[in-house]
Structure 1
Amino acid sequence: MIVVAGEALIDLVVTAEGQRAVPGGSPANVAVTLARLDEPVRLLARIGTDEYGRQLTEHLTSNRVDLAWAVRADQPTSVAVATLNATGQASYEFRLAGTADWQWTPQELPELAGSPATALHTGSLALALTPGAQVLEDLLAREHRRDGLTVSIDLNLRPSIVTDRAAEQARVRRQVSLAHLVKASDEDLAWLYPDRTVSDVLAGWREAGVSCAVVTRGGEGAWLLAPDGSLHEQPAVRTTVVDTVGAGDAFTGGLLAALADLDALGDRPASRLAAVSAQQWAEVLRQAATVAALTCAHRGADPPRRAEVEALLATAS
């Protein structure tokens, strides 16, 4: 079972035709992607009991995301206003003050030792906004020390919300050192490190102990730095883009699902990832890119199911 920790919020999607409220949040999107790829997944989230919270609960359970560890919170649900331009690219405005997602207390977190968890994935605003970010960071530190599962982080930075670049650099430096697998977009890195190259950043992460680092590059594809130091490149899978909402989260879910299928997640995580062959890394990247492309072909954060992914992979091969 993969455990995903972090926000489950409402995307208020605004287009020329009007607006609609749809379930979202980067970690929740990753969890739904994993579930649709037939990977057992449990979401560790704080979900409000308001109408938006009930909409999120229904969406997650209908997609077979396990909510056994979710906290029913008194605070309202977070809202992200996603405005789409004519090409389907999304820009975001967030309504987060006093909402449920960021109020974690240590007592609300489960004990992962002895559970069937093989990986813990988190990232985005859940690791950036206080007071809950520190609680989740402590969880990452504890699990990294235990060495009993794979720790995965997707930076998914939001400079419009967390604007202090120096503070974000310090936070990311701390948190990356607690992960075995780190994923970021080229936009994340361009904002976070305007004076550094991607290769320099990845080399630094490797020195910090990260086994595998992935950088997504939108329509240019993705790079993956493997545990042996080799760099793998995957071109973007061509598709008709409806919008890009949730594409990065779908990529992350596809990546984790592919690694789970290889039995590359679990205890002794560095050793498991080191055992993945070059050919397998290429297949992992191809699956992640395919999942992201199929999501771009759908409206909103609507990741594909396993059969749809396998059909496109078979066609491409």
Structure 2
Amino acid sequence: MIVVAGEALIDLVVTPEGQRAVPGGSPANVAVTLARLDQPVRLLARLGTDEYGRQVAEHLTDNRVDLEWAVRAEQPTSVAVATLDATGQASYDFRLDGAADWQWTPQELPELAGSPATALHTGSLALALAPGAEVLEGLLAQERRRDGLTISIDFNLRPSIVTDRAAEQTRVRWQVSLAHLVKASDEDLAWLYPDRTVPDVMAEWRELGVSCAVVTRGAEGALLLAPDGSMHQEPARPTTVVDTVGAGDAFTGGLLAALADLDALGDRPAERLAAVTAPQWATVLRQAALVAALTCGRRGADPPRRTEVQALLNTAS
């Protein structure tokens, strides 16, 4: 079972035709992607009891995301206003003050030791916004010391919300040291490290203890730095872009699902990732890119199901 921790909110999607409220949030989108790829997944989230919160919970349950560890919170549900331009690219404005997602307390966290969890994935605003970020960070530190599961982070930075670049550099550096697998976008890194190259940043993350670093580059595909120091590159899958909502989350879900299929997630995580071969890394990247491309070809964060992905991968091979 893969555990995903973080926000589950409402995306208020604005287009020239009007607006619609749909469930979203980067960690929640990753969880849905994993579930649709037939991976057992449990979401560690704080869900509001308002109408938006009920809509989010129904969406997750309908997609077979386990909510046993979800906290039912009195605070309101967070809202992200996603405005789409003519090319389908999304820009975001967030309504987060006093919302449920960021109010974690240590007492609300489960004991992962002895559970069936093989990986813990988190990221995005859940690791950036106080007071909850510090609580989740403590969980990551505890699990890194225990060495009983794979820790994955997708930073998914939001400079419009967390604007202090120097503070973000410090935060990211510390949190990187707690993870075995780190994913970011080239846009994340261009803002965070404007004077550094992507390979240089990936190499630093490896020095900090990350086994596998991944950077997505939009239409230019993705780079993966493997545990042995080799760099792998995957081109973007050709697609007609409807919008980019949830595409990065779909990539992350596809990546984790492929690693789970290889039994590369679990205890002794560094050893498991080191055992993945070069051809297997190519397969992992290919699946992640395909899942992201299929999501870009649909309206909203609507990742594909395993049967569709497998059929296309088999055709390509």
Kindly state the Cα deviation for residue 106 of structure 1 after the two structures are TM-superposed. 0.1
Give the equivalent residue in structure 2 for 1:18. 18
Give the equivalent residue in structure 2 for 1:103. 103
Q: Report SS of the residue matched to 1:81.
A: strand
Q: Tell me how far apart the structure 1 counterparts of residues 234 and 30 of structure 2 sit (CA, whole Å).
A: 20
Q: Tell me how far apart the structure 1 counterparts of residues 236 and 57 of structure 2 sit (CA, whole Å).
A: 33
Q: Tell me how far apart the structure 2 counterparts of residues 125 and 137 of structure 1 sit (CA, whole Å).
A: 12
Q: Does 1:129 align with 2:129?
A: yes
Give the equivalent residue in structure 1 for 2:53. 53
**Structure 1 unmatched ranges of 5 or more:** none
Q: Tell me how far apart the structure 1 counterparts of residues 281 and 21 of structure 2 sit (CA, whole Å).
A: 37
TM-score by length of 1: 1.00
Letter in 2 for 1:276: V
Letter in 2 for 1:79: V
Structure 1 residue ranges, 4+ long, deviating more than 3 angstroms after superposition: none
Q: Report SS of the residue matched to 1:279.
A: helix
1:1-317 to 2 correspondence within 5 Å? 1-317=1-317
Kindly state the Cα deviation for residue 143 of structure 1 after the two structures are TM-superposed. 0.1
Letter in 1 for 2:85: N
Letter in 2 for 1:189: L
Question: 1:257-316: CA deviations, max 9, x gaps?
Answer: 000000000000000000000000000000000000000011000000001111111222
| Range with bigger deviation, 270-279 or 196-205 | 196-205
Letter in 2 for 1:37: L
Q: Report SS of the residue matched to 1:282.
A: helix
Question: 1:207-262: CA deviations, max 9, x gaps?
Answer: 00000000000011000000000000000011111100000000000000000000
Question: 1:186-215: CA deviations, max 9, x gaps?
Answer: 000000000111111011101000000000
TM-score by length of 2: 1.00
Q: Tell me how far apart the structure 2 counterparts of residues 199 and 40 of structure 1 sit (CA, whole Å).
A: 33
Q: Report SS of the residue matched to 1:157.
A: coil
Q: Report SS of the residue matched to 2:282.
A: helix
Q: Report SS of the residue matched to 2:136.
A: helix
Q: Report SS of the residue matched to 1:224.
A: strand
Q: Report SS of the residue matched to 2:264.
A: coil
Question: 1:45-92: CA deviations, max 9, x gaps?
Answer: 000000000000000000000000000000000000000000000000
RMSD: 0.4
Q: Tell me how far apart the structure 2 counterparts of residues 224 and 50 of structure 1 sit (CA, whole Å).
A: 40
Q: Tell me how far apart the structure 2 counterparts of residues 200 and 185 of structure 1 sit (CA, whole Å).
A: 14
Number of residue equivalences = 317
Q: Tell me how far apart the structure 2 counterparts of residues 197 and 240 of structure 1 sit (CA, whole Å).
A: 29
**Structure 2 unmatched ranges of 5 or more:** none
Letter in 2 for 1:149: L
Q: Tell me how far apart the structure 1 counterparts of residues 175 and 202 of structure 2 sit (CA, whole Å).
A: 14
Q: Tell me how far apart the structure 2 counterparts of residues 310 and 176 of structure 1 sit (CA, whole Å).
A: 32
Q: Tell me how far apart the structure 1 counterparts of residues 231 and 260 of structure 2 sit (CA, whole Å).
A: 21
